[in-house]
Amino acid sequence: MSPQSATPNILISAAGEDADWKKAMVERLPDANVATTDDDYDPATIDHALFWKQPQGLIKTLPNLKAIFSLGAGVDHVVSSPSLPADIPVIRLEDAGMADQMVQYHLYAALHFMRDFDVYAAQQAKATWTQHDVARISKCRVGVMGLGALGAAVASALSNLGFAVSGWSRSMKAIDGITTYAGEDAFAEFLGQSDILICLLPRTPETEGLLNSSALSHLPKRAAIINAARGAMINEADLLRALDTGHLRGAFLDVAVTEPLPESHPFWDHPKIRITPHIAAATRIEEAVDQIAQNIDRMARGETPSGLVDRQSGY
């Protein structure tokens, strides 16, 4: 990348949290000009945009953008914009305080199934006092889809707790204690040994609808699914069918195709589904602004920023 001008002109659009981001950014880069969309700013001067679910059409009002930073790990809200020029670098956050939270979320959700808390919740609803054998954790096979900043941390934490963990990614990975698979050819085999399937993939054209009836049919009978990535990766009707036929024992969902999940959605009162409202991992602003500031510096020096999105693959 070619070196850029000295003083960054930054615009923030952060879905209601603009003031917090602006304060943190001003503290971290006191020499930069930092505005939110509520401020009086000249769109032609803006060269760096910090976006989380920015309003539609905002990108095309900024003719001199040199980079767009996502304020989350996912970049689907940016790369799906039809007005995004092909040559603008899009940069995602890497961990930024989210990996620890993802680990906590998945430890809870995986233990929910491994220790039969779903079974006991159903029993409680019928005032039934029946004890079941406790499975050996080493016999419980967890498959993690996506071994990036978040998936790899979750896979390692579950493995350290004693689960038998495997992981699936686009390119082959080597992670201590984890059996790894890569690519489409290995997908069915990976699914076939996942008693608990965790989805931590980015939303891209390749991953959208990936967990459909065909994929779900490869999971072992009475497998469970945990999805804290994006709702669009699971075909919701196929998931409901797999739960209702008893092929799947349950689903723990932090994300949905439509968020907030509509009040009338069948997920809400499905006895085999646990819902949380997209809270698995929140960006920690301090860590995030530090990453963004370092990347602005890197780009100013003509270096490649860390977390640069490959526009071809979409993440």
* Residue 209 interacting with ligand NDP (CB under 6 A): no
CA angle (280 as vertex; 171, 293 as ends), nearest 5: 70
Q: Which amino acid is at 22?
A: K
The helix/strand/coil state of 169 is: strand
Q: Minimum distance from CB of 303 to ligand OXD (Å)?
A: 24
Cα 187 from Cα 136, distance rounded (Å) = 26
Pick the piece of the chain touching ligand NDP (CB under 6 A) from 6-14, 53-61, 122-130, 223-231.
223-231
CA-atom Rg of the chain in angstroms: 21
73 binds ligand OXD per the rule CB under 6 A: yes
- φ, ψ at 42 (rounded to 5°): -95, 110
Contact in structure between 155 and 175 (CB atoms under 8 Å): yes
Instruction: Pick the binder of ligand NDP from 89, 202, 231, 305 (CB under 6 A).
Output: 202
Q: Which of 60, 77, 170, 241 binds ligand NDP (CB under 6 A)?
A: 170
Please report whether residue 14 would count as binding ligand NDP according to CB under 6 A.
Answer: no
Of the residues 72, 305, 307, 314, which one makes contact with ligand OXD according to CB under 6 A: 72
Element (H, E) at 144: strand 141-145
Do 195 and 218 touch, CB atoms closer than 8 A? no
Indicate the pairing of strand 223-227 with strand 248-253: parallel
User: Which one of residues 151, 231, 250, 305 is an interface residue with ligand NDP (CB under 6 A)?
Assistant: 151
Confirm or reject binding of residue 97 to ligand OXD (CB under 6 A): no
- Active site residues per annotation: 230, 278
Which residues here bind ligand NDP, judged by CB under 6 A?
72-74, 98, 146-151, 168-171, 200-204, 206-207, 228-230, 254-255, 278, 280-281, 315
Which residues here bind ligand OXD, judged by CB under 6 A?
72-74, 283
